[in-house]
């Protein structure tokens, strides 16, 4: 049995940019009732929109905890580290960047970080130095010196990305362990030694 067709194919639904009036309707409904089922939300909120469109509008633009503005150095490092592990799984990466949307992270990667890595001679897909990054046209001592400098820089970047990868893996492992510990019931532990100390203290006071 296949998936039900997307509601975008239903007749009469509005497409294109959202109006302030539509935003207000969506905000008012979710503030009062929560979003619930996105597929049925548009009719309840009085919107001629697809449920998917409502979900994306809320998640990427309207929810009150969205963080806007310039990315910090720490956020950039986190994106690069996690992209080396997870690739283009933006939703998974966004879970490690509180209040940032997956769409904003994806756009920042494509417009800034991806190009920055390429300029540094790092392949933004594999996060490894490009094989031909050190090659340059012409010959001579100047070119050879430049090639040696770039080779040393690439080695340094390789070490940096490897360290970043290990740090990200360790972070993910720690979070997984914490979730596992939180879901494991803790049974009470008997401590006979404590009872002995209490009895000894009582006898000492009695004497």
Chain segment 77-132, per-residue pLDDT in tens: 999 999 999 999 998 999 999 889 999 999 999 999 999 999 999 999 999 898 77
Q: Which range of residues forms the domain containing residue 29? A: 20-62
Distances from the Cα of 166 to the Cα of 10, 122, 141, angstroms: 48, 18, 38
Partners of residue 122 on adjacent β-strands: 129
**Non-local CB neighbours of 56 within 8 Å, separated by 6+ positions:** 103
pLDDT band with cut points at 50, 70 and 90 for residue 23: very high
d(CA 171, CA 165): 10
The verdict on 79 and 169 lying in the same domain is: yes
Does 32 reside within a domain?
yes
Q: What local confidence, expressed as pLDDT, does residue 159 receive? A: 59
Question: What domain count does the chain have?
Answer: 2
On whether the CB atoms of residues 66 and 101 are closer than 8 A, the answer is yes
Q: Taking 60 as the threshold, does the pLDDT of residue 207 lie above it?
A: no
Would you state the pLDDT for residue 6?
54
Backbone φ, ψ for residue 113 (5° rounding): -65, -40
Read off the pLDDT of residues 118-173 as tens digits, 9 standing for 90 and up: 999 999 999 989 877 555 444 444 444 444 444 444 555 555 566 666 666 666 77
Q: Are residues 81 and 56 in the same domain?
A: no
Instruction: 30-36: list long-range contacts, CB under 8 Å, 24+ apart.
Output: 30/58
Judge whether residue 1 has pLDDT over 60. Answer: no
Class of residue 132 by CB neighbours under 10 A (exposed 0-12, middle 13-18, buried 19+) = exposed
Residue 77 lies in a domain: yes
Does one domain contain both 158 and 118? yes
Residues 89 and 177 in one domain: yes
The verdict on residue 204 lying in a domain is no
List Cα–Cα distances, 198 to 61, 203, 207, in angstroms.
61, 9, 15
What single-letter DSSP state applies at residue 11? T
Name the residue with higher pLDDT: 37 or 1.
Answer: 37
Q: How many residues are present in the chain?
A: 207
| pLDDT tens digit sequence for 33-52 | 998 899 999 999 999 999 99
- Do both 128 and 88 map to the same domain? yes
């Amino acid at each position: 049995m296949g998936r039900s067709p997307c509601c975008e194919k239903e007749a009469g639904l509005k497409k294109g940019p959202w109006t302030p009036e539509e935003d207000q309707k969506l905000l008012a409904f979710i503030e009062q009732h929560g979003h619930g089922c996105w597929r049925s939300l548009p009719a309840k909120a009085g919107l001629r929109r697809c449920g998917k469109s409502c979900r994306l509008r809320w998640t990427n633009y309207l929810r009150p905890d969205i963080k806007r503005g310039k990315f910090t150095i720490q956020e950039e490092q986190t994106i690069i580290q996690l992209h080396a592990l997870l690739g283009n799984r933006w939703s998974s990466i966004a879970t490690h960047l509180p209040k940032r949307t997956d769409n904003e992270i994806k756009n920042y990667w494509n417009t800034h970080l991806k190009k920055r890595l390429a300029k540094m001679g790092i392949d933004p897909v594999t996060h490894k130095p490009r094989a031909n990054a050190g090659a340059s046209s012409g010959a001579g001592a100047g070119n050879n010196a430049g090639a040696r400098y770039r080779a040393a820089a690439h080695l340094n970047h390789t070490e940096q990305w490897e360290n970043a990868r290990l740090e990200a893996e360790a972070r993910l492992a720690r979070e997984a362990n914490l979730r596992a510990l939180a879901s494991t019931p803790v049974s009470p532990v008997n401590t006979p030694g404590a009872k002995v100390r209490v009895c000894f203290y009582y006898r000492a006071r009695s004497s």
